[in-house]
Amino acid sequence: MALLKIVEPSMAPPALDRPRIAIGIDLGTTYSLVAVAKNGISEVLLDEIGRPLLPSVVRYLSGGGRKIGYPAKLDAVLDPCNTISSVKRFMGRSKADIQDLDTIPYHFVNTSGMVQLKTIDGVRSPIEISAEILVALRQRAEAALGKEIIGAVLTVPAYFDDAQRQATKDAARLAGLKVLRLLNEPTAASIAYGLDSGVQGLYAVYDLGGGTFDLSVLKFTHGVFEVLATVGDSMLGGDDFDHALYKYILHRMRLSMLPPQDIQALLDAVRVAKEILSTQDEALLDIKLSCSRRIMLTITESEFKTVIQSLVSRTLVLTRRALRNAQVIPGDFNGIVLVGGSTRIRSVRYAVEQYFGKVPLTDLDPDQVVALGAAIQADMLAGNRRDGNNWLLLDVIPLSLGLETMGGLVEKIIPRNSTIPVAKTQEFTTFKNGQSAIAIHVVQGERELVSDCRSLARFELRSIPPMTAGRARIQVTFQVDSDGLLSVSAREVQSGVQAEVIVKPSYGLNDNDITRMIKDGLSSSKCDMRSRALREAQITAQGLVYATNEALKADWELLDDAERIQIDTQLNALRAILNENDINRINKSMKALAAATEEFAARRMNQSIHSALASKKLDEIS
Ligand code: ADP
Ligand code: MG
């Protein structure tokens, strides 16, 4: 197979003296990161106080404000409905796709397409929420690099389908980032380990994060990565370890349940203990609960190992399945890459090592490895690598792509696990005499019936010249680009009529949607400014009321009755409207009070100067 140069033809040749900065972003379920590569060395960019991770959490506040990352995460207990975490699980998903809808605290809006969440600041789509996280990462990168960023490589799980990939691209676009390419997470991790510099090899990428587990089998040959198979469980990860340990502690304390305000406190403490047990043999748990109760106990690493044993076994069951799909055995692998914070757990590492009969690669930080690889890829795409080592990486499509045929059946055109980019053509014909149009319905999935698959797009091929049934030759071509995005075209061979769609899944956004959201963003920032100005006016007014009151108490004798009444009137007027939302009235009333107290203020000033002078000796006055 010919190797393909990764530099896009549409890109201008890079300027030699000015490196073009492109970043790599790991938009994770639990944490997100941004990294950049310089001279082939990749590093994660830190926030203003030196932290590499950004919790993937956004809290919406009334009046257009929002908190992102650590401050938002802290508010999750306080304001669960408006504090959105793990939004990645909703990307490109409809309500019907989400399994545990009842356990999620958010208010979902009734829509047929991608889920929408109702927040205190209006309805938000997962794309917009993800864009908030991406903006924070973009700003972090801009601040750290002090240069314009020409684009970004974003990573996605290997099993992400068309809708989920499109949603990720849309989020980046909304965040003002040019997407150079979407890259599968396991592929990114392999690049970070430089596995693409060898001649060939078979690698397993074991990714255990906060809420998800994925295992991918990658084959690297002749400068090309192929994802041979990928399996995942979107409900298995570090959070489940936390819950298992939480339940175990309640059991040990002989408690059946806790009041709601204590649940989060215990869960947080349990997570800290879990993380300590990755490097130490025991962890002390000491939590003050409400009603002056306290939990204090020590947990050992071996206890923890027993608690999570069945969860770890589940990852190995899935691993076995992936190897079966790829038709390989554990002994075939040249290397095992660990990804995800939960692979720091010693018993997880040990289980993986036992299964593959090989010590996994652990030199790189498992939470950072995906972003590091994405940055290397971004740097290559920006045209900064000149060592001839820039080849296109091949991935597979996770689900089969096909067409609806007679009787609601699916004809698969591109089978799942085909490497991309890929193009396939198949011929169809008309089934009625004189049929002048055919409807083409593109679907994705493994099932036989259209009703069991995901509908991606519909379009029509019209103006087919009248022919007897079965004579028309309609060639339908499916093409999947290197981001995993599909375009479909149909052509009647004899007449040459053709039609085409770029498959924008119904969950993706069209340009109008993007424009609307950008506009909404602008108007909400106007709204932000207005509510801030109001808040400031209210605070100033409160200060003025307080100061006037104090002055009246202190120096009432400086005023005559009429003056006092006049100031009181204005003071009461301001007090009455202080908490209203009318900034103009507040400002006007403040002015009126200031005017009424002008003379009083002048007299007080004179008096204080007078008494200050009076208390000093003459030689101190200059
Ligand atoms: P995701 O890919 O889901 O965004 P990460 O790869 O960042 O998530 O993994 C987050 C998970 O890793 C959390 O459950 C966290 O508690 C866990 N984790 C992080 N550090 C450690 C550690 N030292 N030991 C055990 N688990 C850890
Ligand atoms: Mg991850």
Please state the atom number of ligand 1 nearest to the C-alpha of residue 241: 14
pLDDT for residue 17 = 47
> In this structure, are residues 574 and 551 in contact, taking their beta carbons and an 8 Å threshold?
no
**Which protein residue's CA is at the shortest distance from atom 23 of ligand 1?**
275
Please state the atom number of ligand 1 nearest to the C-alpha of residue 366: 6
Number of Cα atoms under 13 Å in the Cβ half of residue 391: 21
pLDDT for residue 37 = 93
**Which protein residue's CA is at the shortest distance from atom 13 of ligand 1?**
210
Lowest mean pLDDT among 261-275, 419-433, 493-507: 493-507
Residue 338 has pLDDT above 80, yes or no: yes
CA of 207 to the centre of ligand 2 (A): 7
13: enclosing H helix or E strand: none
**Which protein residue's CA is at the shortest distance from atom 2 of ligand 1?**
209
Nearest to 263 by CA among 295, 310, 235: 295
CA of 19 to the centre of ligand 2 (A): 29
CA of 286 to the centre of ligand 2 (A): 30
At 57, the pLDDT band (50, 70, 90 cuts) reads very high
C-alpha distance from residue 541 to each of 564, 567, 578, 601 (Å): 19, 15, 7, 17
Classified as helix, coil or strand, 109 is strand
Please state the atom number of ligand 1 nearest to the C-alpha of residue 32: 4
C-alpha distance from residue 595 to each of 568, 587, 608 (Å): 13, 12, 20
pLDDT for residue 470 = 78
**Which protein residue's CA is at the shortest distance from atom 26 of ligand 1?**
342
pLDDT for residue 484 = 67
Residues in the chain: 622
Number of Cα atoms under 13 Å in the Cβ half of residue 62: 2
What is the pTM assigned to this prediction? 0.68
Q: Which domains does the chain carry?
A: 9-238+309-396 (3.30.420.40), 401-523 (2.60.34.10), 526-614 (1.20.1270.10)
**Which protein residue's CA is at the shortest distance from atom 19 of ligand 1?**
341
pLDDT tens sequence across 181-218: 899 899 999 999 988 877 689 999 999 999 899 999 99
Q: Which of the given ranges, 105-119, 507-521, 541-555, 599-613, has the highest pLDDT on average? A: 105-119
Which tokens go with 79? 């304001």
Active site residues: 26, 88, 185, 207
CA of 387 to the centre of ligand 2 (A): 30
Of all residues in the chain, the percent with pLDDT exceeding 90 is: 41
Residue 542 has pLDDT above 50, yes or no: yes
- Range 365-369 average pLDDT: 96
Ligand nearest to the CA of 348: 1
Q: Where are the extended beta strands (E) located within 103-250? A: 107-109, 116-119, 122-124, 149-156, 179-184, 200-208, 213-221, 224-233
SS (H, E, C) 28-90: CCCEEEEEEEECCEEEECCCCCCCCCEECEEEECHHHCEEECHHHHHCCCCCCCCEEECHHHH
CA of 366 to the centre of ligand 2 (A): 9
Please state the atom number of ligand 1 nearest to the C-alpha of residue 274: 25
Distance CA 439, CA 117 (A): 34
Which tokens go with 469? 């049934």
SS (H, E, C) 487-500: EEEEEECCCCCEEE
pLDDT for residue 282 = 97
Lowest mean pLDDT among 31-35, 62-66, 105-109, 579-583: 579-583
Distance CA 383, CA 13 (A): 7
Distance CA 324, CA 599 (A): 90
CB atoms within 10 A of CB 16: 7
Distance CA 422, CA 481 (A): 7
Ligand nearest to the CA of 311: 1
Which tokens go with 471? 């004579």
Which tokens go with 615? 């208390």
**Which protein residue's CA is at the shortest distance from atom 12 of ligand 1?**
341
> In this structure, are residues 489 and 446 in contact, taking their beta carbons and an 8 Å threshold?
no
Residues with CB under 6 A from ligand 1: 28-31, 209-212, 237-239, 271, 274-275, 278, 340-342, 344-345, 367
**Which protein residue's CA is at the shortest distance from atom 22 of ligand 1?**
275
pLDDT for residue 532 = 58
Residue 200 is which amino acid? Q
CA of 209 to the centre of ligand 1 (A): 5
Of all residues in the chain, the percent with pLDDT exceeding 70 is: 85
Any idea which residue has 């679907």 for tokens? 443
CA of 367 to the centre of ligand 2 (A): 7
CA of 29 to the centre of ligand 2 (A): 7
CA of 156 to the centre of ligand 1 (A): 17
Ligand nearest to the CA of 188: 2
| Residue 59 φ/ψ, nearest 5 degrees | -110, 125
Query: Looking at the DSSP assignment, which residues form a beta bridge with residue 107?
Result: 118
pLDDT for residue 374 = 96
578: enclosing H helix or E strand: none
Nearest to 73 by CA among 141, 133, 137, 117: 133
Please state the atom number of ligand 1 nearest to the C-alpha of residue 277: 24
Ligand nearest to the CA of 349: 1
**Which protein residue's CA is at the shortest distance from atom 20 of ligand 1?**
341
- Ligand 1 pocket test, pick from 275, 350, 364 with the greatest ligand atom count within 8 Å of Cβ, gives 275
Which tokens go with 577? 């409207």
- Strands 474-480 and 419-420 come out as unpaired
CB atoms within 10 A of CB 550: 10
Ligand nearest to the CA of 234: 1
SS (H, E, C) 273-318: HHHHCCCCCEEEEEEECCCCCEEEEEEEHHHHHHHHHHHHHHHHHH
**Which protein residue's CA is at the shortest distance from atom 18 of ligand 1?**
341
Residue 508 has pLDDT above 90, yes or no: no
pLDDT for residue 506 = 44
Q: Across all residues in the chain, what is the average pLDDT?
A: 83
- Ligand 1 pocket test, pick from 70, 236, 241, 342 with the greatest ligand atom count within 8 Å of Cβ, gives 342
Please state the atom number of ligand 1 nearest to the C-alpha of residue 28: 4
Distance CA 151, CA 170 (A): 14
Distance CA 583, CA 577 (A): 10
- Ligand 1 pocket test, pick from 29, 31, 168 with the greatest ligand atom count within 8 Å of Cβ, gives 31
> In this structure, are residues 237 and 55 in contact, taking their beta carbons and an 8 Å threshold?
no
Please state the atom number of ligand 1 nearest to the C-alpha of residue 30: 4
pLDDT for residue 526 = 53
| Residue 224 φ/ψ, nearest 5 degrees | -130, 135
